[in-house]
Structure 1
Amino acid sequence: MMVIEKIWTTDTAIWIRTAEGREAYEDFSNYPPLKFATPEERNNFEADEFGIHWKDLDEDLSFEGFFKEKQSNFLYMLFMNYPELNASAIARRMGMKQSLLAAYISGAKKPSPKRQQEIISTIREIGKELQQIEWKYSI
C-alpha cells in the first residue's frame, strides 16, 4: 500500500509525496470541479489511505492515479468535453463508488466493455429524462 507523507496545492495542481520520496501531481485543469474552484475550496480536502476527497466539490482523486501514465480514453474525453457531467452523481445513480468511476475516467483503471456501456447508458438515460421535462410554469 502506498503511504502518503505530504499533500499540498499550488495555483494549478495538487501534489503528493510518498514515504519513499516519490512526488506526483494532478492538474486542476483536468477536473472541472477543481478547475473552477476557489483556492479555499481546493484546500478544503480530506485524505484517507486511498485518495483525496473534496466533499464540498463532490470530487475525488485516487493516489494510484497520480502515478499512472496519463492517456486519453473514451470516458476521459467524454467527461472533459462535457464538464456539465457530474461524475459523482452518475456514480451514485449507478450504485458505484465515485472513486472507481474517477479511476476509470483518469485511466488509472480500465472498465470492462460491459461496465463502460453501463456508464454510457446511464448518461444517455439522464439525457432522455431531461428531454422529457416540460415547463409547466411561466414567468
Structure 2
Amino acid sequence: MEKITKIRFEDARICVATEDGKTHVRPLEHFPILKDATEEQREAYKLNKFNDAIRWHDMDEDIHISSFYETSEPIPDNVIARVFNRFPQLNVSEIARTIGIHKSLLSKYIYGTKKPSEQRTNEILDTLRQIGQELAKI
C-alpha cells in the first residue's frame, strides 16, 4: 500500500503525494465535506499511523489512499443529480436536514459519486415536491 507524504489543494482538487513519487488527484466533488470546507479546515488534517489515510477530526472526515485509485470521473446520472443541477438555488444542507440524512450523502448523490436507491430517490423527490407545494401556497 502506498504511503501518503503530502497533501495540497488546488483548482477545486485534492492532490496526494506518495513516498514513491506519485501524485494522485481527485476533484473535491468526490469529498463534499472538503469541498464546502474553508482553506483552514482543509489544512487541519492528520495522517493515520500507517500514512495511508487522512483524517480531518473537526469535520469528521476520513479518506483512504485507495479512494484515489479510481481512474474515471463520476457521471451524475440519476434523477437527484438532474434536479439539483436544474435548480442550483436548492440548499443541499437544508434539504438533507429535512429528509434526515447527512449533507455529504446528498452531495454524493448530486455529484454522482454515490447512487441513491430507488427508495431514497423517492424520499428525496417527495420532500422536494412537498416544498414545492408549500411554495405554491404563498
TM-score by length of 1: 0.61
Q: Does 1:129 align with 2:134?
A: yes
Q: Distance in 2 between matches of 1:4 and 1:114?
A: 41
Q: Distance in 2 between matches of 1:80 and 1:121?
A: 17
**Superposition deviation, residue 7 in structure 1:** 3.3
8 Å contact from structure 2 (residues 14, 28) kept in 1:
no
8 Å contact from structure 1 (residues 5, 16) kept in 2:
no
**Superposition deviation, residue 16 in structure 1:** 0.8
> Is the alpha carbon distance of 1:24 and 1:92 closer, same or farther for their aligned partners in structure 2, counting shifts above 3 Å?
same
Deviations along 1:8-67, one digit per CA (max 9) or x if unpaired, are: 23xxx312122432112358xxx9xx8xxxxxx98546236578xxx9xxxxxx9659x5
> Is the alpha carbon distance of 1:4 and 1:15 closer, same or farther for their aligned partners in structure 2, counting shifts above 3 Å?
farther
**Code of the aligned partner of 1:46:** Q
SS in 1 for 2:7: strand
**Which one has more relative contact order, counting CA pairs under 8 Å at least 6 apart?**
2
Number of equivalent positions: 111
**Code of the aligned partner of 2:7:** K
> Is the alpha carbon distance of 1:103 and 1:42 closer, same or farther for their aligned partners in structure 2, counting shifts above 3 Å?
closer
Percent pairwise identity: 30
> Is the alpha carbon distance of 1:123 and 1:6 closer, same or farther for their aligned partners in structure 2, counting shifts above 3 Å?
same
Q: Distance in 1 between matches of 2:5 and 2:130?
A: 39
Structure 1 unaligned runs (5+)?
35-40, 56-61, 134-139
Q: Distance in 2 between matches of 1:118 and 1:14?
A: 30
Structure 2 unaligned runs (5+)?
46-53
**Code of the aligned partner of 1:7:** R
Query: Aligned Cα RMSD in Å?
Result: 3.8
8 Å contact from structure 1 (residues 70, 106) kept in 2:
yes
**Superposition deviation, residue 101 in structure 1:** 0.5
Partner residue, 1:38: none
Question: Paired residue for 1:78, among 72, 76, 83?
Answer: 83
Question: Paired residue for 2:95, among 90, 95, 105?
Answer: 90
Q: Distance in 2 between matches of 1:92 and 1:45?
A: 25
TM-score by length of 2: 0.61
Deviations along 1:77-122, one digit per CA (max 9) or x if unpaired, are: 2111111111111001111100000111111111110000100111
